[in-house]
């Protein structure tokens, strides 16, 4: 996974990635964005000033006068023209000269070099004419060229800013202030001063200022911007809340779990930012194409000049052709083709609960042939729920059984205990107190409740103590059962199961439609694995696998030529995630540090995995469309600019070339902005 970092080091074609650098620490208020905004205003201002100056330049130009049929030549008129044009050349051309210097320093000549070269040639030639060289000056072409170049850059930077705006929206989710609860008052503080264990108050309708645990109160929270989950989620005392989530109508107090810079949202912003800067194969392809285009432009431009000049055309004509070729060739559209899609797709993914850490992994999602799912927590909910309560004695009804069992389980952290306690909570049953509590190792627990001796035990305990397993008792393959014994009499049993997520079946079906195999890989027993695999209609399952064996299973699949994506919860699946072609870590925001995975799913929702594959395909398509458009446009326009169809009366002026170039850039920008996540 390290290779993409190398690519990050060499910066991209002069200006076009610099537009995307947002300052290194997003929570520091987007220093880079402000710089970007200043550049946009700068281009805008230069554009308007050049526009005002271009009007008299046009009117004073011999060619335009000739064309319009009037003659305004007066003594010294060409010197006024020269003076005005010089202002346009120096003031309007300055950003391009700066860019040229940067590119030469970086030994990476590109767009800025080309533009600066073209306008300098046009200017020097025109000045020579004013001071005695025979021919027609080029001033109006020079002015319109600079004007359109400034406009093009201004539009282009605005579109890049648009793509990065989603990132700013994420930043704005973080409220600037928080209500800190002091012993005798509530005090407003800046969010970034909060630290672990501070207590904050979140009023109805406000944004949560920090990640934390609810200390008191309950409410519904909308986390859709962070996790893509559209329904507001009910949060009670003890539940986790994420900074940036919008509070519903309840007031809650939250114990802060870490400082703002470590919050889930800051991590997301940092990941989005890094991903926008990280290069993928497609990006590197575009960079190479842009570099070649620059070289071709210079060679083609100079060749065009010599061909026309040596074949007997005027110096002015040959110069004009050269400048037009160079302008047409500016690889703006190419330089933007990929970064715009990258910016848009990364930000969109983040909004939809997909965090892309590695661009290449994301673009390769289109090649996936097999997805290996870890069962618990991805395809299943990952927590036990009571599926049935059976009473075996008339003295006890179902509520008695769960009530007595819960008394013993209230001390325990075990998933089964959690499941039983949740059921009691749902049924609003009061849990009685216990005495003489004792754990029977590996078999269950015993205690005295309401002066009865109660045991909650596994089927194994019944066998060992020769208690008869009740008639008609059949444990479903996917269920876990505990028995309740009251005063040495079997009173009943409770069955629990880890339920399959409602979205799983649909996700597997969509994968099938896209010819992607789904395989279940689990440490659970074969019966459970088979049951889940069959229920969901998966292609196959591999059960009773220990974490270190998962890696081997992935390698086996790869050796059969499969392009494998592995989804796992990051911790015990790290080696398997690293070896898979694409590692997708599933899990709540707290485990964002799933270092080995290229992509992180915020919600452990299997449908997001399908969205990821489809969105990866859509993103790749957009990039390729943009690259085809950007190169195709140059292939057609360059020969026209060089004057191939001159005999047929088709000739592009430098200004027309510049307009075409701007249009192609805008087409690429619009195409990128049309990217969407299909739900």
Q: Which residues are catalytic?
A: 374
Q: What is the distance between the alpha carbons of residues 302 and 298, in angstroms, rounded to a whole number? A: 6
CA separation for the pair 72, 188 (Å, rounded) = 70
Q: Which residue has the tokens 């085809």?
A: 628
d(CA 450, CA 624): 73
CB 342 within 8 A of CB 616: no
Which of 593-609 are b and which e, b meaning 16 or more Cβ less than 10 Å from the residue's Cβ?
A: ebebbbbbbbbbbbbbb
Distance CA 204, CA 190 (A): 19
Structure tokens at 642: 């060089």
Contacts of 74 (CB under 8 A, 6+ apart): none
CB 566 within 8 A of CB 582: yes
Count CB-CB contacts under 10 A for residue 636: 11
Alpha helices per DSSP H over 61-193: 62-68, 77-87, 93-105, 111-130, 139-172
Residue appearing with tokens 């080995």: 596
DSSP SS3 for 158: helix
**CB 593 within 8 Å of CB 271:** no
Which residues in 522-613 belong to E strands, given as ranges? 540-542, 564-568, 582-586, 599-601
Beta strands 380-391; 599-601: pairing state: unpaired
Cβ–Cβ under 8 Å, residues 325 and 638? yes
Whole-angstrom Cα distance, residue 365 to residue 16? Answer: 26
The three-class DSSP label of residue 569 is coil
CB 322 within 8 A of CB 643: no
Sheet holding 479-486, edge to edge: 380-391, 489-500, 479-486, 452-457, 444-449, 435-440
Nearest-angstrom CA–CA distance, 593 and 570: 9
**Two structure tokens written together for 53:** 């100056």
At 94, list the tokens. Answer: 């300055």
296 backbone dihedrals φ, ψ, rounded to 5°: -60, -40
Q: Considering Cα of 587, then 590, then 593, then 599, what sign does the dihedral take?
A: positive
């Amino acid at each position: 996974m390290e290779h993409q970092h190398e690519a990050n080091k060499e910066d991209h074609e002069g200006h076009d990635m610099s537009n995307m650098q947002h300052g290194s620490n997003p929570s520091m208020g987007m220093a880079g964005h402000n710089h970007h905004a200043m550049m946009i205003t700068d281009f805008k201002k230069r554009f308007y000033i050049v526009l005002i100056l271009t009007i008299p330049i046009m009117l004073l130009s011999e060619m335009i006068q000739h064309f319009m049929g009037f003659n305004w030549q007066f003594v010294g008129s060409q010197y006024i023209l020269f003076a005005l044009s010089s202002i346009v050349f120096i003031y309007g051309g300055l950003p391009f000269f700066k860019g040229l210097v940067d590119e030469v320093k970086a030994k990476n000549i590109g767009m800025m070099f080309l533009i600066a070269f073209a306008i300098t040639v046009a200017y020097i030639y025109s000045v020579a004419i004013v001071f005695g060289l025979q021919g027609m000056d080029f001033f109006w072409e020079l002015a319109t060229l600079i004007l359109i170049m400034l406009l093009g850059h201004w539009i282009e930077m605005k579109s890049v800013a648009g793509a990065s705006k989603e990132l700013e929206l994420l930043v704005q989710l973080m409220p600037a202030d928080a209500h800190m609860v002091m012993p005798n008052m509530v005090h407003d503080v800046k969010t970034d001063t909060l630290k672990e264990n501070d207590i904050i108050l979140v009023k109805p309708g406000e944004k949560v200022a920090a990640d934390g645990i609810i200390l008191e109160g309950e409410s519904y929270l909308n986390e859709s911007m962070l996790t893509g989950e559209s329904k507001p989620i009910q949060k009670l005392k003890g539940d986790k809340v994420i900074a940036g989530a919008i509070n519903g109508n309840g007031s809650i107090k939250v114990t802060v779990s870490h400082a703002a810079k470590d919050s889930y949202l800051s991590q997301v912003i940092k990941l989005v930012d890094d991903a926008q800067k990280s290069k993928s194969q497609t990006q590197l392809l575009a960079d190479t194409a842009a570099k070649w285009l620059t070289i071709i432009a210079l060679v083609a431009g100079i060749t065009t000049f010599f061909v026309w000049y040596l074949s007997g055309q005027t110096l002015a004509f040959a110069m004009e052709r050269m400048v037009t070729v160079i302008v047409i060739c500016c690889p703006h559209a190419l330089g933007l083709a990929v970064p715009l899609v990258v910016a848009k797709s990364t930000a969109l993914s983040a909004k939809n609960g997909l965090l892309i850490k590695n661009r290449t992994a994301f673009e390769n999602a289109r090649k996936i042939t097999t997805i290996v799912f870890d069962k618990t927590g991805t395809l299943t909910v990952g927590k036990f729920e009571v599926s049935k309560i059976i009473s075996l004695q008339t003295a006890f009804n179902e509520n008695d059984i769960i009530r007595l069992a819960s008394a013993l389980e209230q001390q325990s952290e075990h998933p089964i205990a959690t499941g039983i306690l949740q059921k009691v909570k749902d049924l609003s049953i009061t849990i009685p107190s216990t005495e003489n509590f004792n754990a029977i190792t590996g078999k269950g627990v015993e205690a005295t409740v309401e002066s009865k001796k109660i045991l909650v035990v596994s089927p194994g305990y019944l066998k060992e103590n020769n208690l008869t397993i009740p008639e008609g008792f059949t444990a479903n393959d996917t269920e876990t059962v505990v028995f309740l014994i009251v005063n040495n009499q079997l009173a009943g049993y409770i069955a629990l199961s880890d339920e399959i997520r409602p979205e799983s079946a649909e996700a597997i079906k969509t994968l099938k439609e896209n010819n992607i195999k789904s395989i279940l890989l689990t440490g659970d027993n074969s019966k459970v694995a088979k049951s889940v695999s069959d229920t969901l209609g998966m292609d196959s399952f591999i059960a009773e696998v220990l974490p270190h064996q998962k890696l081997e299973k992935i390698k086996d699949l790869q050796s059969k030529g499969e392009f494998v994506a592995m989804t796992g919860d990051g911790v015990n699946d790290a080696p398997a995630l690293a070896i898979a072609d694409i590692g997708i870590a599933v899990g709540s925001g707290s485990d964002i540090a799933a270092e080995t995975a290229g992509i992180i799913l915020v919600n452990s929702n299997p449908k997001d995995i399908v969205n990821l594959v489809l969105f990866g395909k859509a993103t790749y398509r957009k990039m390729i469309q943009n690259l085809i458009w950007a190169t195709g446009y140059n292939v057609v326009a360059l020969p026209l600019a060089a004057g191939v169809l001159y005999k047929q009366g088709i000739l592009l002026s430098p200004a027309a070339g510049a307009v075409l170039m701007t249009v192609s850039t805008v087409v690429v920008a619009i195409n990128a902005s049309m990217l969407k996540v299909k739900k």
